[in-house]
A and B are shown apart, each in its own frame.
Chain A
Amino acid sequence: MSAPADIAAPAEGEPRKPPPVRVLVSVLAAVLLAAAPLFLAPYAISTLTRMLVFGLLAASLALLVGVSGLPSLGHAAYFGAGAYAAGWFAQNVSAQAPLSLLVAAFTGGFVAAATGWIAVRARGVFFLMLTLAIGEIVHQVADSWESVTGGSNGLYGIPATEVGGAAITNVGVLHWYVLAAFGGGFAVLWAVKASPFGAALRGIHDNEPRMRSIGYPTSLYKYAVFVVAGTVAGLAGGLLAAQQRLVTPADLGFTTAALALLAVIIGGARSLWGACLGAALVIFVRDSIGPSLDGHGPLLLGVVFILVVYLMPNGVAGIRIGRGKGGGKP
C-alpha cells in the first residue's frame, strides 16, 4: 500500500470484481433473511430484527473505523439522536411508514455534521477521546432534556409504524420493514465504500500525510464520511424506535458505542458485512444467552471478544476457506 496507484485498489484482498461465489452468498443471505418470518418463531424473528438494527449501526461504524481509520467511541450518539427523533416524530407528528426513518436519518446526519467538524480535526487517541466526549454530552442531553426525551425514563409508548393507515404490529411484517430499510442503508454504505471517494478514504486510513501531499482535502473527506456514517447510524436509530418502540438514554450511551465497536472488531474492521455478523453475534450473546447466565452475560461477551481477537485477528471477514485464496496483499 505505498504507490498512489494502490490507493484505488480495494484493500484486504477484496477482488475488483465480486466473484460469483460472493454474489451468490449475498443473494442467499438476503433471501434467507426475507424468508425468515415464514419459518421462525416470533421471538427468533424479533431477535433477528434487532440484529439487523444493530448490524446497520455496526456497519456504519465500520465505514468510519475500518475504511477511514476513524475509531469513534461516540457513534451511538447519532444512533440515539436518530432514535429519539423518530420516536418523537412518531408520537407527535406522524407514524406513517418512511417518514420517521427519514427524520431519523436526517437528525443523525445533522448531529454528526454539528459535532463532527471538531472531531475530524483530531487523530488517533485524540479522535477517540473527542468522540467519547461528544457521546457523553449527547447522552447527558438525552438524560436531562425531559420535555422532549422523557429523561431517564426514556421515550416510551411510541406508536407502531403505519403503512397506508394500518399499524405494523406483526413481528414478521415489522421484520420485512426493517430489512428493507436495512438494505437501503447498507447499500449506501457499500456504494460509498466502493466509490473513488471510498478509495481515497482508504488512502487516508493508510497514509494521511501522503494523501494530503498529493492534494486530497483529507479533513473534508473525513468530515464527509463522518456525516454519512452519522446519517446511516441515525437511520438505524429510526429502526430501533420502530422495532423497540422505546428509546432510553442507554441507547446512546457509552455501552452501546462500545458494543458497536466490539461488533466491528469481531467482524474484521474493514468489512461492512463482517460488522453485521459481529453485531449479530453480540446481540445473540447479550439477548439470547446472556439473560439466563445468572448475571454472567457481560462476562461471556468479554470472553467471546478475547477469543475472537486471539483466534481470528482479522475478524469474521478475515476467514478464508480454501488455500489462501485472495488472502494476501496485492
Chain B
Amino acid sequence: MDGMRFTRRRLLQLTGAAGAVVTVQACGGSLGGGSSPETSVKVGLLVPQAGVYAPLGTDMRRAWDLWLESHDGKLGDYTVETVVADEGETPQTGVPAAQRLLQSDQCDVIVGIVNSATALGVRDIVHEAKKILIVANAGAEDITAKASSPYIWRSSFTNGQVAAGMGRHLAENGPKDGVFVIASDYAAGAEAIAGFTSAFEAGGGTIAGRADPPFGTTQDYQPFLSRIRNSGAKATFCFFAGAEAVSFVKQYRQFGLAPDVPLYGSGFLTEGGVLDAQGEAALGVHTSLHYTSELDSSHNKEFVQSYQDAYDAVPTVYSVQTWDAANVLDRALRGADGLDGDTLSTALGGLGPIDDSPRGTWSFENQTPKQKFYLRKVEKRGDRYVNAVVTETGAIGQPG
C-alpha cells in the first residue's frame, strides 16, 4: 500500500489527462452564441444518445434537424438555438440532463424524453421553472393526468390510447370473443392492457386470459405461448417493445401460433428497427399506431421524401412525434408575444387542429394528442418490410 509519489513525469501525465478532460468539455459545452432574446428561442433537445433507446433518439434528432433545415432554422419568427443533451437510459441520467438544460443552459423550451419515468421525474423541475416541456415520446398516462402541469404538453401518445385503438377495432371487426392479452410486466405494459381491455370490453369483446412475462429478463416465451394455445383464444393482443418485441414475434411464429391465433399489438411491436430484426416472422402481424411511413397523404409523402433524401432512412413514429413537437411550437410562437411558460401554454392551448402533420390531422385534448389510429399489417414491399395501412379508427383521446 505505497502512497504514490509525485514525480515530475507523473505530474505531467496527470495534468495532460486533466487538460484532455477540459478540452472535451469545452467542445461539448454550450453551442452557438447568444443572439438577442427577443428574436431567438433556445430549445433543449433531450433525447437518448446512449443506451437501449439510442435508436429512438437518432430518429427524433433527425426529425428536429430536418424541421429546422426546411424552415430556415426558425420556429415562428424566432431563430432557434438548439442545445442537445443526452437523456441516457434512465432518470438517473435524464433528470440531471434536464436540470442542466433548464438551469445551466437557460433553455426556454425542452423537447424530447423517451423514458416515461424520466418524463415523470422532471415534472417538478419543469413545473417549478415554469418552462414548456413537449414530451415527444414517453407514453405514461400520468404525464398528462395525475402528474399534469400547465407547462407539460405531449406530441406523442399515451400507452392506453394506442392499445384502445386496437381494442376498439377488434370489438368492431373481430375476432371478438376470446382474445388473450399479454404484455411485459411494467408500467407501460399494464397501461396498454388496461387501455385495450376497457375499449375492447366496452365494444362487447371478451378476454380469454392474461399473462405478464417479467420485463427485461424474459428470453423464452414458450410457457406463455403454451398458455395462449391452451386458452383456446381466437387472437392475441400484446404489448412489447425493443428487443422483447423481436424475440416475442419470432417465437410466436416458431411456436406455430401465428396461422391459427393471429397476433395483434400496440404499434411499437413492429415499428422502426425492430421490424427489420423480426423480418419474415412479423409478416401478417396487425398493430395499431398513430403513424406509419406508408400513409398515403400528401403531407406524409412529402415528409418521407425529404427525410429519405436527408438521411437515407425511412422515418418512424418517433421522428413524426418530434417533427410535430416542432410544428406545434412553431404555431404557438407565431401567436405568442413572449417565451415564458404561461404565455406559451396559453398559445398551445389555443392551437386548434394540427392539419399538416404527416400522421394526419390531430389536436390537443388535455395537453396530449387526440388522434386517429391506423390498423397496420406487416407486409413485404420489395426487399423491405413495411406496416401497410389496412384501415383507420376515428379520433381517440387519452382514455380514462
Q: Which residues of A contact B (CB under 8 A)?
A: 11-13, 41-44, 46-47, 50, 140, 143-144, 146, 150-154, 156-157, 169, 244-246, 248, 250-251, 253, 255-256, 270, 285-298, 300, 304, 307, 311-314, 318-324, 326-329
Contact = CB atoms under 8 A, between A and B. Distances in A.
B50 interface: yes
B175 to A, nearest CB: 30
B172 interface: no
B309 interface: no
Contact of A246 (B88, B91, B100, B188): B91
Nearest to A158: B124
Contacts of B174: none
Given A154-B120, A157-B124, A288-B100, A314 B3 contact: yes
A318 B3 contact: yes
B400 interface: no
A318 B4 CA distance: 5
A151 B50 contact: no
Interface in B91-108: 91-93, 95-97, 99-100, 103-104
8 contacts: A13-B1, A246-B95, A248-B92, A253-B90, A292-B85, A294-B49, A297-B86, A321-B6
B4 A327 contact: yes
Given A244-B95, A312-B14, 18 more contacts: A44-B104, A153-B117, A154-B91, A156-B120, A157-B124, A248-B92, A287-B97, A290-B88, A291-B100, A294-B84, A297-B93, A313-B4, A314-B1, A314-B4, A319-B3, A320-B3, A320-B4, A328-B3
Interface string B1-28: 1111110001001100100010011001
B54 interface: yes
Interface of B: 1-6, 10, 13-14, 17, 21, 24-25, 28-29, 48-51, 54, 57, 83-86, 88-93, 95-97, 99-100, 103-104, 116-117, 120-121, 123-124, 128, 140, 142, 147, 185-188, 190, 214-215
A328 to B, nearest CB: 6
B88 A297 contact: yes
Nearest to B103: A43
B90 A248 contact: yes
A307 B96 contact: no
A250 B84 CA distance: 23
B116 A320 contact: no
Given A154-B121, A248-B117, A320-B5, A311 B92 contact: no
Q: Which 6 A-B pairs have the closest CB atoms?
A: A295-B49, A327-B3, A250-B90, A43-B103, A287-B96, A292-B28
Nearest to A154: B117
Contacts of B215: 143, 152
A58 B394 CA distance: 54
